[in-house]
Amino acid sequence: MARRVVFTAYGGPEVLHLVNDDPPRPGPGDIRVRVRAAGVNPVDCKIRRGYFASPGDTFPQTLGNEFAGVVDAIGPAVTGYTVGDEVLGFTTAAAYADYVVVPADLVTTKPLALPWTVAGALSVVGQTAYHALRTLRVGTGETLLVHGAAGGVGTMAVQLARHLGARVIGTASSAHHDYLRRLGAIPVAYGDGLIDRLRAVAPDGVDAALDPVGGDAVLASLALIRDRGRIGVLVDDETATAHGVPRLRPARSAATLGELAAMVAAGTLQLPIRRRYPLDAAADAHRDVETGHGYGKVVLTMDRSR
C-alpha cells in the first residue's frame, strides 16, 4: 500500500490526513517515482485553506508540487530513465505521497552530491527565482532589490543575481541580516522608513526589483525604479494591476531544474533546510510554514531521507 496526504474540506492544517491506496501505475510516457522528500511551500497552505477554491471543486484533494526520489516503474515509450535512477522533479498538487507518477520530461537526474531533502525542495523556489530574474533582465553591474530576501524565493534570487554579476539589496527583519550578508546581499530592514533606508544604500537608484511578498513593498520599488516593466510581483495580482507592474508567472522545465541542481551540488548555490517532518506530520509542517518565521525550506520526508 502507498500513503498519501489528502484533505476532504478546506480549512486549517488539521484537515490534512493520510490515506492508503494501491501505488499509482505509470501510463505511456510516464515514470513512477518512490518519493524520498517533498518540499512544503506557502502555495500548498493557500490551496488547503481554499484560497483558489471554485464552485466545482471536488474532494479529496492532494498537495505538493516538488519532489525527489527513486524511479521504481516505467511506462511504455519512456527512454532515458531506468528503474533505480535517482531523480528530482515537479508535478501539480501530488507530491505529498510515497509514490508519484509524472511524465518523464518533468524530472531530471539528481546529482550524487545533492542531499535528498534539498533535491525535494528545490524546484519551486529555484525555478521561480531563475525565471523571474530573466524576465526582469537582471545583468552584470546592475542593482537588484529583493523584498523578503530571507524567504525561499528570495534566498535563491539573491544568489542567482550575484552569480549573474548584479549587486543585490535585500529587505528582511534585522534577525536575518547576517544571513543575507552570507548570501552576498546588502541587508535593509523593512518597515517604516524603508524608502529612505534604500536610498541611503542605493543613492544612484535601483535597476530592477523582485517582490515575492506583495502588499506595500511595491511602493518602495516604484520610488526607486523608473521602468515599471522591471518591477516583478510574484503573489499579488491586485497590487500588480493597481500599480501597472508585471505579475510574474513562473515557468518550469526539467532543463532549468537540472541546471539549478548542478549549481547546488557544486556549492554555487545553497538552499538551507529549516526543518524536516515525516509524511504523517504534514499538518505540523503546514503550521511551521504558516508562522512565516525563520529562513530555509520545510520538507516532508518519507522516512528514508538522508
Give residue 138's pLDDT: 98
Question: Which of 287, 217, 231, 264 is CA-nearest to residue 115?
Answer: 264
Q: CA-CA distance, 15 to 287, in Å (whole number)?
A: 12
3-class DSSP assignment, residue 127 = helix
User: Which stretches of 191-304 are assigned E, i.e. beta strand?
Assistant: 208-211, 231-233, 273-278, 297-301
Return per-residue pLDDT of the chain as tens, 306 residues.
899 999 999 999 999 999 999 999 999 999 999 999 999 999 999 999 999 999 999 999 999 999 999 999 999 999 999 999 999 999 999 999 999 999 999 999 999 999 999 999 999 999 999 999 999 999 999 999 999 999 999 999 999 999 999 999 999 999 999 999 999 999 999 989 999 999 999 999 999 999 998 888 999 999 999 999 999 999 888 888 999 999 998 899 999 999 999 999 999 999 999 999 999 999 999 999 999 778 899 999 997 443
Give residue 85's pLDDT: 98
Q: Which residues pair with 265 in a beta bridge?
A: none
Domains 2-122+271-301 and 125-243 are alike in CATH topology: no
Total Cβ atoms within 10 A of residue 175:
12
Give residue 304's pLDDT: 46
Give residue 237's pLDDT: 87
Which CATH class for the 125-243 domain? alpha beta
Give residue 293's pLDDT: 77
Contact by Cβ (8 Å): 221, 198 = no
Contacts 24+ apart (CB under 8 A), 288-292: 288/40, 289/40, 289/41, 289/42, 289/44, 289/45, 290/13, 290/42, 290/45
Indicate the domain borders of the chain.
2-122+271-301, 125-243
Give residue 305's pLDDT: 40
Contact by Cβ (8 Å): 206, 222 = no
* Grid cell locating 111: 546529482
Q: Which residues contact 137 (CB under 8 A, 6 or more apart)?
A: 208, 230
* Grid cell locating 276: 524536516
Q: CA-CA distance, 280 to 300, in Å (whole number)?
A: 9
Strand 143-146 vs strand 167-172: parallel, antiparallel, or unpaired?
A: parallel
Give residue 239's pLDDT: 85
Q: Which CATH fold would you assign to the domain 2-122+271-301?
A: Quinone Oxidoreductase; Chain A, domain 1 (3.90.180)
* Grid cell locating 52: 483558489
